[in-house]
Structure 1
Amino acid sequence: MSTSDATGTPKDHVPQLLDRHELQDYLNHHLLGSRSGVRMFRTAADTWRGTPYEQRFKDLTAQVSEMQDRLIALIDRLGLHRSPLHAMAGLAAAVAGRFNPVNLTRSKTQGMTQVELDILQGALQGQMGMWQALAELATLAPEGGLDRAEMEANHERTRELQDAVRRISDETLGTRFLR
């Protein structure tokens, strides 16, 4: 059973202050992941070069990059610092991602291509989790500078990107697993 504070508000609903250090660390980790994610989408566009899916992946890459820009803008707007260590790790991940260790041959018709598509969906699922957590934090710490509606809109936009990758996966699945 929930106890109440002096105003009668349940204690589990009392607004809290954001731990800005933890939030900064959390957002920097997601920024690091987003750098790898943008690179993975660029690599997928290379995998699908010469097919109708190439442009779809180029469009997805631009949209995923835009979501990364939204994260950077949020970090900046909140007055948090972007970690130079994470930036260097992101550059290393970007270089490594260019080699596409998941789909070395850039095949469109093998099981590893499915793994690549699954990983892209998983990366977007991680980003959706971040936006959802930030939406909840906006409610728990209303003075923290997070806008719930903005975080929910970012969550929805990321879900749409994940759905787009899933559609490509569904449309091309037979080329990998059916004879």
Structure 2
Amino acid sequence: MAPHIPGSIDAQLLGLYLSDHLTGATAGLARIERMAEAFADTPVSADIARVSAEIRRERDFLRGLIHDLGVRQRPYRQAAAWLAERVGRLKLNGRIVRRSPMTMVLESELMRAAILGKLGGWQTLEELAPDLGLDRGTFVKLGDEARSQIEALSRVHEHARRNAFRISRDISG
């Protein structure tokens, strides 16, 4: 059965909802890819790289779902999210050239919150899947993946907060 939006579901509202989630996925992907690059030299780089690859795949899936359901994608929202993510990097953290040790703490917190929001989206789609002609199991799996991503980013956060605020002192002199 091909995906479709039945008359019992508000297609415009669903389209806006999916577009908002695609906007979030676009911004989240830009952020996590930057994290993967910036923190490649850390013990948690494998966790970040895995989450990055999964978010890219999920964003592509969501884009395809929007297309398959025939709702508007609203690309201007994704462009605005991309731009906002880049502007968000221009923060005053007291560091001009190198990254602040606080950056990983904040970014892992931000990404965990974003993934929690994404989990809600997968749960909503799981609920609507039978009406939309979609496989409910797909969204159960995506929800499980989101929970795993939250766990991975919790490990990143643990590593970051253990190291970010400590002042290393040279005790030799």
TM-score above 0.5, yes or no: yes
Matched, 1:92 2:80: no
Map of 1:21-170 to 2, 5 A cutoff? Answer: 21-97=12-88, 99=89, 101=91, 105-107=98-100, 109-110=101-102, 112-138=103-129, 142-170=130-158
Partner of 1:9: none
Letter aligned with residue 141 of structure 2 = A
Uncovered stretches (5+) of structure 2, i.e. residues with no partner: 1-5, 168-173
Structure 1 position 29, deviation (Å): 0.7
Q: 1:172 to 1:114 in 2, by over 3 A?
A: closer
C-alpha contact 1:131 1:151 (8 A) present in aligned 2: yes
TM-score (norm 1): 0.76
Structure 1 position 113, deviation (Å): 3.1
Structure 1 position 134, deviation (Å): 1.2
Uncovered stretches (5+) of structure 1, i.e. residues with no partner: 1-14
Identity %: 28
Structure 1 position 149, deviation (Å): 1.5
Q: 1:49 to 1:150 in 2, by over 3 A?
A: closer
Q: Which runs of at least 4 in structure 1 moved beyond 4 Å after TM superposition? A: 102-105
Q: 1:40 to 1:101 in 2, by over 3 A?
A: farther
RMSD: 2.5
Number of aligned residues? 159
C-alpha contact 2:44 2:155 (8 A) present in aligned 1: no
Letter aligned with residue 156 of structure 1 = D
TM-score (norm 2): 0.78
Letter aligned with residue 30 of structure 1 = H
